[in-house]
A and B are shown apart, each in its own frame.
Chain A
Amino acid sequence: MALEVDKIRRDFPLFQQADKEGWVYLDSAATSQKPRSVLAAMNQFYEQENANAHRSSYALAERATLRYEAARERVRRFINAAATEEIIFTRNTTESINLAAFGWAGKFLRPGDEILISEMEHHSNLVPWQRVCQSTGAQLKFVEFDEQGRLVMKQFHQLLGPRTRLVAVAHMSNSLGTIHPMEAMIAAAHRAGSLVLIDAAQSAPHARLDVQALDADFIAFSAHKMLGPLGIGVLYGRRSLLEEMDPLLFGGNMIGRVEHLKTTWNDLPWKLEAGTQNLAGAVGLAAALDYLDELGMEAIEAHDRMLGQMAIQQLCAIPGIRVYGPPDAHGPVVSFNLENIHPHDLATFLDQERVAVRSGHHCCQLVMKRLRVAATARASFYLYNDEEDVRRLAAALYQAKDYFKKWL
């Protein structure tokens, strides 16, 4: 069923602000807006249920603990994990990847082992692996991408070898919008005896994520890109891997028995969640997942893809534009450059036209290097955008060309 965008927009308080009237928000890949139900759930937690979890035994604290653990179960259900213990709350995708990198790879990799990533990765799925390789002596290998912005699959299969211990890739690229053939990549990696970490920061907001069907080993994503609050994210891990890995942080609540000189760890998932956690954040994330499920991830995926396709079509028709990424296998993230207009100047112009896009390297300097550009402009679409937003973007781009004409 198609999404009723007008109705959806009314659920988002930010779009109701007077100064946001006629404003087109096209930066959901950076962070999404939040529906009222998410804000209300967090408020309710703070106003009526706030206490620390897993510490005290009075009724209020029991309630806070229940709410937090219920949020974990909500996440499990959303991604169809086998067990709630496989859901670890973190601050964001970046922390989730770091946890897997240092907790698992840092512990088990040896000199000569290999980690295979792509040149299209967000710095958050690149820099942690550089560090792990520096400390373990493992080697970092890169799959490149072609002119269309697709991973070179032939090279991927060549690079996968007996020494590959881990493949870490984003499901959808945040810079080019490319959706990678994840199922095939996971199957090939497993055949080669490697584990797979999926950076789902961009894909989780837009499509059903079924970790058992995907058969992934680690999955990382952030609540704030999928209608949830800032400051909470998830690392999903196969139970056996979470069991054998080390914590990243040490201290309160992650402990079993503490002695003067040594300590045992708590059970999963708490072993990997040191210190007081973001309870309200977890509650807000659960409310966001309710909202998404209510609309239906299938409907959301169809809607977002349609907007992405429409944007590619309308933008490609503009003379002097370069749209990056493949024409198909493309999510609702569209990167582009207008000839002779720096994306930074372009973004300032679009802002004046009340169209919010991002310009820059999008935390993907390796991508910019391969495209031989310093930066791109990027429009990203979500469930509260509609066809009119795409038209507004295209129209504003024509105006920008006109405005900057004298500069060329």
Chain B
Amino acid sequence: MALDELYQEILLDHYKHPRNKGRVENADLSVELKNPFCGDEILLTVRFEQDKISDMAFEGQGCVISQASASLMTEKIKGLGIDDAKQVIERFQRMLKREEDEHSDAVCSAACRHHASDEELDELNALQGVCEYPSRVKCAMLAWRSLMQALEQRKQTP
């Protein structure tokens, strides 16, 4: 069943046992975002040490995709330097981006299998199936958008 490509075991695990759930103590920044489409919520707290993301955690509620994506993200990003984190964000975005085919309005059932898995992304590849469901990409991106905002704010007030 195609649905199993969306709801993979790794996501199940992260949804049931979210990593880095809660709030970072003495956080430098916190960003709260809501997905107006379905009401998913993420509150991301981050602590920096020089140019490194030394700690991060999330709180939130919402669908499997939004919460599992947040958990996977914190696991991947925590401890990375800011530049490396930005690279991961970019790769993740690229993975979820649908190949636009102007002749087909159907979702990209073929196209997303064209994305080879990105080894750098490790477990995040479990979210690849999301790109077949354009409305769900917003769910998967919610935590990542909060992270991007946090990095943006950090740049403005170092």
Contact = CB atoms under 8 A, between A and B. Distances in A.
A354 interface: no
A403 interface: yes
A342 B61 CA distance: 9
A403 B39 contact: no
Given A344-B136, A352-B3, A407 B64 contact: yes
A407 B15 contact: yes
A348 B37 contact: no
A349 B3 CA distance: 7
Of A342, A361, A403, A406, most B-chain CB atoms within 10 Å: A342
A347 B133 CA distance: 11
Contacts of B136: 344, 348
B64 A361 contact: no
B55 interface: no
Interface in A351-408: 352, 359-361, 368, 374-375, 403, 406-407
Contacts of B79: none
B139 interface: yes
B88 to A, nearest CB: 25
Nearest to B4: A403
Interface in B59-95: 61-65
Contacts of B41: 374
9 shortest interchain CB distances as A-B pairs: A374-B39, A342-B63, A344-B63, A344-B38, A375-B39, A345-B63, A360-B38, A352-B3, A345-B64
A343 interface: yes
A374 B64 contact: no
A361 to B, nearest CB: 6
Contacts of B12: 406-407
B112 to A, nearest CB: 15
A343 B38 contact: yes
A352 B16 CA distance: 23
Given A342-B62, A342-B64, A374-B62, A348 B40 contact: no
Contact of A375 (B38, B64, B65): B38
Given A345-B65, A374-B41, 14 more contacts: A342-B62, A343-B63, A344-B38, A344-B136, A345-B63, A348-B136, A360-B37, A360-B39, A361-B36, A361-B39, A374-B39, A374-B61, A406-B12, A407-B16
Interface string B7-39: 100001001100000000000000000001111
A179 to B, nearest CB: 25
Nearest to A375: B39
Contacts of B139: 344
Contacts of A343: 38, 63
A368 B133 CA distance: 24
A348 B39 contact: no
Nearest to B36: A361
Nearest to B133: A348
B110 interface: no
Contacts of B37: 360
B1 interface: yes
B106 to A, nearest CB: 9
Contacts of A403: 3
Nearest to A374: B39
9 contacts: A342-B64, A343-B63, A344-B40, A349-B3, A361-B36, A361-B39, A375-B38, A407-B16, A407-B64
B53 interface: no
A284 B13 CA distance: 51
B142 to A, nearest CB: 11
Of A345, A359, A361, most B-chain CB atoms within 10 Å: A345
B3 A359 contact: no
Contacts of A342: 38, 62-64
A360 B61 CA distance: 14
B21 to A, nearest CB: 17
Contacts of B16: 407
B121 interface: no
Contacts of A359: 38
Interface in A315-352: 342-345, 348-349, 352
A368 B62 CA distance: 13
B116 interface: no
Contacts of B133: 348
A389 B1 CA distance: 23
A375 B39 CA distance: 6
B6 interface: yes
B152 to A, nearest CB: 26
A361 B34 CA distance: 12
